Amino acid sequence: MRLKPINQQVVVLVGASSGIGRLTAIEFARRGAKVVVSARSDEGLDTLVDDMRREGREITAVTADVADFAQVKTIADTAVNLYGRIDTWVHLAAVILYARFEETTPEEFQQVIDVNLVGQAFGAMAALPHLRRAGRGALIHVTSIEGLRAMPFHSAYAASKHGVVGFLEALRLELRKEGAPISITNIMPGSINTPLFNKARTKLGVKPQGIPPIYEPEVVVETILHAAEHPSRDLFAGGSARMMAFIQALSPRLMDTLLLRTAFKGQKTDEAKSVAAPDSLYRPISGFNRIKGDFSAKASSLSPYTRAQLHPGLTTIITGLALGAGIALARRFTKNSGKATRGAPPYRP
């Protein structure tokens, strides 16, 4: 299938008040697309629209909670009423909770699922009829590497991301069976420097962070813009995400061992944060209407793997190198594990 150039598109972005979504909206608008943005935060949307309109860009905001299908449908209807169609739907809205599973309440687990999984499904449901009428288009869902490999403290978040991967796979097959010219893309970032960590609910006693290496939002935006013009199935944002997926497929036990050594301590900063601190789990909070988080000093704005991934020839070379490195690592692990005491180390917060 062929997708339109960005400057000829009507693009809807859900989850645009901060972080990856905010920068994606800016880049689409600057490249000439007609953009409709949505989020729960009026403040975040208002500042985004004001900034873009001062540049002379065409952008409209719709405040909506993705856990409510009627509100999601209003986003799609607004875009069609304004421009007559939707060419690309980008769904990024997400919330996150850092807590051991046994410390997670039923209400918290349900909220993460409602926003991150059900909200993504509602977005696809609202967009698909309009993409069909347009005759072609792209559904781009930003999930996480945790759609393939869960981290500790993320039982609800990882479950939601796994769920999105599952429904996208089913939807993709259904559309291919009927020959519908609609591209379905799953974008899986690694650790990205956004305000998500500032807005997270945490029961760790400290502000959380992503496991290094950390990438700037530009790395994810690059993949989204590519998928809007080039039909793509799965894209990884950050070479570390691709490596995690590869090791998980090669040896889940090896991935368990690596995460036991790095993921518990690696997700914690030294900055104290109480569970009573403001968070965005149930409602938006002010003060974080920006693109980047607090980790720019340790974040990279370029991922060589991500850049190469968008060029198939280079991807083949890099995948071959990664395969060799992964096999060597797995062999070393297998050899050493035979000498080690069996069983995982005890949990230490």
Which residues are the active-site residues?
A: 157
Judge whether 197 and 207 are in contact, CB under 8 Å. yes
Q: Give backbone dihedrals phi and psi of 12, rounded to 5 degrees, phi first.
A: -110, 130
What is the spatial distance between Cα 28 and Cα 11, in angstroms, rounded to a whole number? 8
Residue 14 gets which letter from DSSP?
A: E
What is the spatial distance between Cα 201 and Cα 327, in angstroms, rounded to a whole number? 38
What is the spatial distance between Cα 17 and Cα 41, in angstroms, rounded to a whole number? 6
**Distance from the Cα of residue 28 to its chain's centroid:** 17
Half-sphere exposure of 236 (CA within 13 A, CB side): 23
Judge whether 19 and 98 are in contact, CB under 8 Å. no
What is the spatial distance between Cα 237 and Cα 100, in angstroms, rounded to a whole number? 26
**Distance from the Cα of residue 170 to its chain's centroid:** 19
